[in-house]
Every structure is written in C-alpha cells, then in structure tokens.
Amino acid sequence: MFENFRKKLSGLFKGSAGSDEVLRKGDIENSVRDALLESDVSLETSERIIADLDNFLERPGKKVSQADLRDALRKSIKKILDENSTGIDILNPGKKPFVILFLGINGTGKTTTVAKIANYLKRNGKRVVVAAGDTFRAGAIEQLSLLCQDIGVNLIKHEAGSDPASVAFDAIDHARARNLDYVLIDSAGRMQTNKNLLEEMKKMKRVAKPDLTVLVLDAMIGQDAVYQAETFMKETSFDCIVLTKLDTDARGGAIITIADQLRKPVLFLGVGQGMDDIMEFSTEWYMDRVLPR
C-alpha cells in the first residue's frame, strides 16, 4: 500500500539517511511540493507542510542534512494527522444501542463498509443489527442481505421504495428490544445535485438520531474525495471518515488532506472487497508506510 507515495517521498532523500550534505531551501521546497502534489496531497495542505519545514530550515546557523529533512517532514505530516486523530473508540461507545449512519456518494463502498464493520464488531464480541437504509434500489437490499447472511448478522429491511427513515427506526426498535450493542444503517448513494435524496438523508438523521455519522469516501478519486466531503459538510454533519479502496493504486496522500482541511478523523481504511479487508487507521501505521524511519 502507498508504494508510489513512499517512493516519491524517499526519492527526496536519495543522499541516504545520515548523509550530511547541506540542502538548499528553494530546492527542498520545490521537490517536497512536487512529491506531495503527485501523491494526492492538496496544494493548500502541501503549502502548510512546506511552511512548517521552512520554520525548521530557517533556524539560523543550522546546516540541514537529508536526515534532518526527513525527520522534519515526518514530524510535520505526523502533526497534521495527530491533531485530527480519532478519539472515537468505536468498540466502547458508552451507549446502547449505538447507532451509526453511513453516508456517501454512489459507489464509494458504503454497503460493503457497513457489512465489514458489522463483521468487525461481531468478531469483537458485539451484538449488531444492520438496517437496509438504501431503499432506492432493490439491488442494494439484495446485496446487503447476502453480505449479512455471509457474516451472520441480522438485517432489518423493507421493500424497495419504502421510507429509509422508517427502516432505521425499526432497526433501532429491534436493537432496543433485544439489548443489542449496535445499529448500522446503510443509505443510498447520493449526488450533491439530487435534492430529494439530500432531503431524505436529513430526514434519516432527524429520525434515527445517529450517535455517529460516517462519511464513506473512495480513495481512488484522490483529492476529489475532499471536495465531496466538503459538499456533504454543507448539507449535513458527519463525525468521521472511512476511506475505501486503498488496496488499489490509490496514492494515499488524500489522508493528509482530509485531516488538514476537513479536520475529521479517518476511522477505518477499506483494503479490499472481502469482509475482513478493513483496518483501523493509526497515524503511526500510516507514517511507517509513507515515510519509514
């Protein structure tokens, strides 16, 4: 994962760690900027990282070696991620049932992610029910039914075309009656242009009153994922992000932009189509992949 990003960043330190070659500030800025932009970090976020490096480079009387630069860049990226890291402990939410709503544009991986997280929670000994909140397409209910069958989790569904908020409501009732730990609600993919679906999404939030709203973003679209999230933010609120499809050749710099510009934590990464292909995001893990010490 993130191989290209890692190569781009390590290309900056060709002189090898430990080299005491003195680097020129202008050269550094340009090559760092190029490496970040080519890896899906936005211009705004790249400039912030470079400004941070500049502070470090401008310390009077200081010679900067490749190794210093590597450390400084690592610190700067890590700071952005740490400042916006989670604090959300999904396994110990402190409320029962804990209701999680999944939102996102068409095809980002919502339905798959709902099932993966249901599976993850179940494996951690939690009792879960899923709500087929995408009533827009009959295929979506069918898709989620198969996935839930696979992982052995109950699904509450109504027929296609029915009100998604009432499916959510029923699932929450079901969970309360059985003292379940979680309700995970799938929803229809919606474009920012589709007013009806946006209204429906707001109604779902009013009725289901989710404890956590997760925006699912597709890492393959790189920086556009951030624009998508900003569009969602204008319409509704969300608490955190699941970034999917990182097993593809997604460059992964979008994770830094998400933290810096959206100020939302990335909770999980989707790393494949299987039910186990999900992992908790951690800054340390990410840094070790993109800029190993």
Ligand X SMILES: Nc1nc2c(ncn2[C@@H]2O[C@H](COP(=O)(O)OP(=O)(O)OP(=O)(O)O)[C@@H](O)[C@H]2O)c(=O)[nH]1
Q: Interface mask (CB under 6 A) for ligand X, residues 49-88, using x and -?
A: ----------------------------------------
Residue nearest to Mg ion (CB): 111
Q: Does 65 bind Mg ion (CB under 5 A)?
A: no
CB of residue 254 vs ligand X: minimum separation in angstroms? 14
Provide the phi-psi class of 285: left if phi over 0, else alpha when psi is between -120 and 50, else beta.
Answer: alpha
Token code pair at residue 202:
């707001």
Q: Which of residues 129-148 bind Mg ion (CB under 5 A)?
A: 140
Q: Which of residues 107-136 bind ligand X (CB under 6 A)?
A: 107-112, 134
Angle at 182 between CA 178 and CA 184, to 5 degrees: 120
Token code pair at residue 247:
């097993």
CB atoms within 10 A of CB 262: 21
Residue with Cβ nearer ligand X (32 or 133): 133
Q: Which stretch binds ligand X (CB under 6 A): 44-52, 106-114, 149-157, 253-261?
A: 106-114
Q: List CB contacts of 76: < 8 A, sequence separation 6 or more.
A: 49, 52, 53, 56
Query: Hey, which residues does 240 pair with through a beta bridge?
Result: 214
Residue with Cβ nearer Mg ion (133 or 265): 133
Q: Does 93 bind ligand X (CB under 6 A)?
A: no
Nearest to 209 by CA among 168, 252, 178: 168
Token code pair at residue 28:
């550094």
Exposed, middle or buried, 185 (CB in 10 Å: 0-12/13-18/19+)?
Answer: buried
Q: Interface mask (CB under 6 A) for ligand X, residues 256-275, using x and -?
A: --------------xxxx--
Q: Interface mask (CB under 6 A) for ligand X, residues 204-243, using x and -?
A: ----------------------------------------
Q: List CB contacts of 28: < 8 A, sequence separation 6 or more.
A: 53, 57, 64, 69
Q: Does 39 bind ligand X (CB under 6 A)?
A: no
Distance separating alpha carbons of residues 133 and 168, to the nearest angstrom: 6
Distance separating alpha carbons of residues 149 and 139, to the nearest angstrom: 15
Cβ pair 261, 226 in contact under 8 A: yes
Residue 272 touches which of ligand X, Mg ion, none (Cβ within 5-8 Å per kind)? ligand X
Binder to ligand X among 245, 254, 265, 266 (CB under 6 A)? 245
Residue 112 touches which of Mg ion, ligand X, none (Cβ within 5-8 Å per kind)? ligand X
Q: Does 140 bind ligand X (CB under 6 A)?
A: yes
Residue 270 touches which of ligand X, Mg ion, none (Cβ within 5-8 Å per kind)? ligand X
CB of residue 75 vs ligand X: minimum separation in angstroms? 30
Residue nearest to ligand X (CB): 189
What are the start-end ranges of the H helices in the chain?
3-11, 25-37, 43-57, 66-83, 110-123, 138-151, 164-178, 195-208, 224-235, 254-257, 283-290
Residue 252 touches which of ligand X, Mg ion, none (Cβ within 5-8 Å per kind)? none
Give the count of residues interacting with ligand X (CB under 6 A): 20
Binding site for ligand X (CB under 6 A): 104, 106-112, 134, 140, 189, 244-245, 247-248, 270-273, 277
